């Protein structure tokens, strides 16, 4: 039986990816899972992020999703490779797939940058994993990368505190730290799916001429391309234009908060689930 595309994030951040994916692939069905009860992931160890992500992905598989997008850089950095190379092949259906956000972002960053000096902002976990540096060095060795971990940004978004002076303080602090290390940066990877929600504050403190780009569009483009190259997977996705939402926290809280991220016109009815 056909089933939705699964989209996973530690919390609300993946909604920024989901939004662009749905705009670009409106005919398909989607099932979003936010592990809000255990967010943030960015300060957790490799093992913990891997275990949490694996449980979440297999819970989306158990609900029928043949394809799951890790709409989370921390999970992509710490769990994607093991899921793809070890867990999927030995699962009861090895034809299911998991895709991440880092590769499409790196490709987009190279095409946007003229100076070939790129800044990466991410969670402590993503920055410590050096996933962006490694992927950029592999694909575009001429690029110079500087990364900065912004541990307060996800809690600001999860707690819906983005419009406050505290948010501006922490945005400014990390942008200053990044640009003081390389003034030639002309392209900024927002390497955490929560960060586009802070874009108004980020733009306020960005040096002129620097392009800060959210990942939604390039991930959506890459997924569309993937489905066109894999008709065997495309044929397993259900089409109805529906989106359903699961959260490990309160369903009411998620439904309300998701509206602020996706737009007030959205009628969202989230369902609470336990991940074990
Ligand atoms: N939104 C996630 C990311 O892209 C994770 C944030 C977190 O839970 O720390 O990294």
Alpha helices, H only, the chain: 15-24, 46-62, 73-82, 102-112, 124-129, 131-139, 153-158, 165-181, 199-205, 216-229, 231-234, 251-262
Q: How far apart are CA 15 and CA 149, in angstroms?
A: 21
Whether residue 162 sits in one domain with residue 134:
yes
pLDDT value for 90: 97
Q: How many domains does the chain divide into? A: 2
Question: Residue 220 and residue 75: Cα distance in Å, rounded?
Answer: 18
For a ligand 1 pocket test, name from 16, 19, 42 the mutation site with the most ligand atoms within 8 angstroms of its C-beta: 42
* Centre of ligand 1 from the C-alpha of residue 210, in Å: 23
How many other C-beta atoms are found inside a 10 Å radius of the C-beta of residue 29? 19
71 close to 149: Cβ distance less than 8 angstroms: no
Q: What is the pLDDT of residue 179?
A: 97
Whether residues 75 and 146 fall in one domain? no
The pLDDT, as a whole number, for residue 273 is: 98
Whether residue 106 sits in one domain with residue 95? no
Q: Please enumerate, as own/partner, the contacts of 19-22 that have beta carbons within 8 Å and a separation of 24 or more.
A: 19/216, 19/261, 19/262, 20/216, 20/217, 20/219, 20/220, 21/69, 21/216, 21/219, 21/220, 21/223, 22/243
Radius of gyration of the chain (CA): 18
Same domain, 206 and 106: yes
Say whether both 107 and 208 belong to one domain.
Answer: yes
What distance in Å separates the CA atoms of residue 272 and residue 129, rounded to the nearest whole number?
A: 31
Euclidean distance between CA atoms 53 and 193, whole angstroms? 15
Residues 113 and 208 in one domain: yes
In terms of domains, do 141 and 223 share one?
no
Residue 265 has pLDDT above 90, yes or no: no
The pLDDT value given to residue 264: 78
Q: Which residue ranges have their beta carbon within 6 Å of ligand 1?
A: 9-11, 13, 39-42, 72-74, 123, 126, 154, 192-194
Domain termination site, one of 185, 214, 243: 214
Distance 232 CA to ligand 1 centre (A): 31
Q: Residue 258: its pLDDT value, please?
A: 87
Closest ligand 1 atom to Cα of 77: 10
Asked whether 145 and 183 are in contact (CB, 8 A), the reply is: no
Atom 9 of ligand 1: nearest residue by CA position: 42
| CB contact at 8 A, 13 and 193 | yes
> What pLDDT is stored for residue 208 in this prediction?
93
Residue pLDDT, tens place only, 222-231: 999 999 999 9
| Full residue range of the structural domain in which residue 230 is found | 5-100+217-272
Q: What are the catalytic residues? A: 72, 192
The string of pLDDT tens digits covering residues 138-182 is 999 999 999 999 999 999 988 889 999 999 999 999 999 999 999
Cα(103)–Cα(154) distance, rounded to whole angstroms?
A: 22
User: How far is it, in rounded angstroms, from Cα 135 to Cα 211?
Assistant: 20
Q: Which residues contact 179 (CB under 8 A, 6 or more apart)?
A: 119, 185, 207
Atom of ligand 1 nearest to the CA of 13: 1
Which CATH number covers residue 56? Answer: 3.40.50.1860
């Amino acid at each position: 039986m056909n089933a939705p595309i699964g989209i996973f994030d530690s919390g609300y951040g993946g909604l920024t990816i989901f939004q662009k994916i749905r705009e670009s692939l409106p005919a398909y069905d989607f099932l979003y899972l936010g592990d809000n009860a255990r967010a943030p992931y960015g300060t957790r160890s490799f093992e913990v992020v891997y275990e949490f992500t694996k449980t979440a992905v297999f819970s989306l598989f158990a609900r029928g999703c043949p394809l799951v997008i890790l709409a989370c850089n921390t999970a992509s950095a710490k769990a994607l490779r093991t899921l793809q190379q070890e867990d999927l092949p030995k699962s009861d259906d090895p034809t299911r797939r998991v895709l991440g956000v880092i590769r499409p972002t790196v490709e987009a960053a190279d095409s946007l940058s003229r100076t070939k000096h790129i800044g990466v902002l991410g969670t402590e976990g993503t920055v410590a994993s050096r996933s962006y540096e490694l992927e950029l060095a592999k694909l575009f060795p001429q690029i110079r990368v500087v990364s900065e971990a912004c541990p307060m940004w996800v809690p600001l978004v999860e707690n819906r505190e983005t419009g406050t002076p505290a948010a501006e303080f922490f945005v400014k602090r990390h942008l200053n730290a990044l640009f003081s290390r390389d003034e030639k940066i002309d392209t900024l990877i927002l390497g955490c799916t929560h960060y586009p929600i802070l874009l108004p504050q980020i733009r306020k403190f960005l040096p002129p001429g620097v392009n800060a780009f959210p990942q939604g569009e390039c991930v959506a483009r890459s997924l569309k391309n993937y489905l066109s190259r894999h008709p065997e997977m495309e044929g397993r996705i259900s089409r109805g234009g529906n989106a359903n939402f699961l959260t490990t926290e309160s369903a009411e809280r998620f439904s309300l908060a998701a509206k602020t991220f996706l737009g007030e016109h959205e009628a969202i009815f989230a369902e609470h689930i336990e991940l074990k």
